[in-house]
Amino acid sequence: MKKQKRFRQGFAALLAAGTMCAALPVLPFSASAGLSGDVDLDGSVSVTDIVLLQKYLLGKDTLSEDAAANADVTGDSRVNIYDLVILKKQIIQTRSENPDTPTEPSSESSGNTVASIVYNADSVTLYNAEGTEVVISDAENVTAEGAYVTITKAGEYAVSGSSENGQLKVSTDNTAEPTAAVTLSFEDLTLSNASVAPVYVENVGDAVTISVKKGTTNTISDGSAHTDSYTNSSGEVKEINSPIFSRDDLKIKGKGTLIVNGNYQDGIVSKNDLKIWNGTIQVTAKDDGIRGGNSVRIGDPSDLIANGGTGDYSNLNITVKTEAGDGIKATETEAEKGFVTINGGTVNINSYADGIQAEQTFTMNGGDVTIYTYQGSDYTASGSSSSGSTDPWSGGWGGMGGMQDGNSNKTDISAKGIKSIGLYDTAGTTWQSEGNLIINGGTLTIDSSDDALHCGGDMSITGGILTLSSADDGAHSDHTLNIGTANAGTFDDVQIYIPKCYEGIEGVTINQNSGSVYIISGDDGYNAAGGNDNSGSGNTNPWGQGGMSSSTGTMNLNGGLVVVNSANGDHDAFDSNGDLNINGGYYCANGQEPLDCGDGGYSINYNGGSVITMTAGNTSLNSRYSFVDNSGNVIVSFVSASASAGQNCTNCTAQSGGTVSGGTTVMEQAGDKAVTVGGTLSGGTQITAGASEGGSQPGGPGGPGGGR
């Protein structure tokens, strides 16, 4: 009876507002142009359509022409109360005929169970699943005071409207609902608050999902200061510092737009797992943009082709811009936590500090990721001592200091493209494990003032198209760095172009297995450096600033193509502090010392593979070189410096000049430096073995100063 009374009251309110006679002008097309009753244009008819139509009739919302056409259920080219009545009857009838059909947007449909929350400046209006208004004091699953709303029970809630002094809080009872799950459907919601988090997940048994409704734009903003806090399980009082803040697992999905403005510190924060499956997400923040405690996962892994999915992440677009901190980060230091994974989607990051920071492991399986940090690879100062910077964030939230690696062109903050830190001892000085950086696929473009890729553990790049520009290293691992897959025998599984860097590829042990790598470096191209190398600096601080292993570096060139072009000066193309083992593959070594190994009995061991050496030491790259097999077919062809070149080839010859016809282009992101695989060479000149005399030649040890 109470429900019927409220329906009659709502109906009377509509009549009093004049909606019985009010109508749109004659519509330009009939309702048959779309789905009758599909007011929210999501391809189905549900309770959400009733709520939206009722809000329109009450003057609280507008309808597009397509939505109005679908709202004309009676087909009389007008939208009025009759359409609402008939739409309600249709849905009630459908449910009676299909009792197993779930209720939307709430799992319950009693008169006092709230399914829809509408913000209106300093107040809210609550509706049940039938679209009837629920008196706040009678609501069974929601409490509200002014524009401060708390959801207390599991369910699905449509949230819309606008408030500049509102909050949406989730706080369920773990005793009553230990596995409670809450879904918040954002439907043109604009919510801000000057002193507390507008969206706050205080407690939930399972997880909270923010579903961003297709066709809607939702904006969540906090103020420049916060007064809210919480007490953690250890009894510590912790600050709440972002407009969307969750103490439990948080998932974001949908096909709409979510704009988050972090005017105090961070943008989106989950203290546990943070998943972003789809949607257009735009985050700006004073400090960190997107931060998860246990993890940050972007792109539903079930959509990966390898997992039986379609591989379609076209509805996932993330943009992050920070003023002081990192773009995306995971912070938990416990084992098997603190990881960031990107499975797909488009991700654009413009960060003051690190673009992406994983406390333990970063993995990229796909997607299109673009990262710009600090002042990018054009950075020319040398830390705070000479930069004249008075930036209060220097070395602060996003800072943590840069490593000193012989590169005078260094920032004094950590502004790496992607960084994985690793686990350290309790003193925070000695690396223990993790800190791995794994790239299996996708397109990655980084322009950073610090290392483009950096990890405290091992780095493995087995797939993907990478363009890495840096004022420091292109890719740096404090331990083992693997490129490609052993015995893959291909040039296109990994494609790495490093057009600007101090050093290109650096690790204690480097295993070059397959793919194509093209480097233009200011210092060494490939550097296998142990503890005595300045690149390691001996700095083993827990923020991943470089502190390489004390073991002697080793370089194993096993397969693929690598073209290194070092700038003029005392720079090596391939430099190993220990042995340099050439076992297979094709290499162009352009440096003052093309191949160099460490002193103390270490050697260059030529077990196979083919090398073109040149002591040009310049980056005027306009001459074509080709490796040609014994049948006259091009194996691989590329552009390097105009220089006097020598060669040592296995089952092939090295040619300079000429024109390659046919073949396949690899590493197209390099433009005129792209690589050609296969094809036919005409007009080339064979390179002789003794044409290059400078530096260390294959088969001989490095000279004085080797292994720098």
Domain of residue 28, CATH code? 1.10.1330.10
> Does 281 share its domain with 140?
yes
Contacts of 27 (CB under 8 A, 6+ apart): 65, 68, 69, 72, 77, 78
> Does 76 share its domain with 131?
no
> Does 127 fall in a domain?
yes
Q: How many CB atoms lie within 10 A of CB 533?
A: 24
> Does 136 fall in a domain?
yes
In this prediction, residue 410 carries a pLDDT of 61
> Does 229 share its domain with 278?
yes
In this prediction, residue 13 carries a pLDDT of 47
> Does 291 fall in a domain?
yes
> Does 202 share its domain with 323?
yes
- Strand pairing report for 453-455 and 621-629: unpaired
> For the whole model, what pTM was predicted?
0.81
> Does 91 share its domain with 154?
no
> Does 585 fall in a domain?
no
What residues make up the domain containing 351? Answer: 114-373
In this prediction, residue 541 carries a pLDDT of 42
> Does 514 fall in a domain?
no
Give the domain-ending residue among 51, 71, 97. 97
> Does 167 share its domain with 63?
no
> Does 217 share its domain with 141?
yes
Query: Can you give the length of the chain in residues?
Result: 708
Q: Which two tokens stand for residue 31?
A: 């309702």
Distance CA 302, CA 315 (A): 15
DSSP state, residue 136: G
Among 637, 620, 618, residue whose Cα is nearest residue 573: 618
Give the domain-ending residue among 346, 373, 400. 373
> Does 294 share its domain with 176?
yes
Query: What phi-psi label fits residue 75: left (phi over 0), alpha (psi between -120 and 50 degrees) or beta?
Result: left
Distance CA 242, CA 244 (A): 5
> Does 431 fall in a domain?
no
DSSP state, residue 395: T
Number of domains in the chain: 3
> Does 15 share its domain with 156?
no
Element (H, E) at 86: helix 81-97
> Does 221 share its domain with 273?
yes
> Does 522 fall in a domain?
no
> Does 400 fall in a domain?
no
- Strand pairing report for 142-145 and 148-151: antiparallel
Distance CA 336, CA 428 (A): 18
Q: How many CB atoms lie within 10 A of CB 9?
A: 12
Give the domain-ending residue among 45, 68, 97. 97
In this prediction, residue 451 carries a pLDDT of 96
pLDDT < 70: residue spans in the chain = 1-33, 60, 91-110, 382-410, 412, 530-551, 569, 617, 690-708
> Does 128 share its domain with 217?
yes
Q: Are 313 and 280 contacting, i.e. CB atoms less than 8 angstroms apart?
A: no
> Does 119 share its domain with 84?
no
Among 360, 451, 448, residue whose Cα is nearest residue 405: 451
In this prediction, residue 534 carries a pLDDT of 38
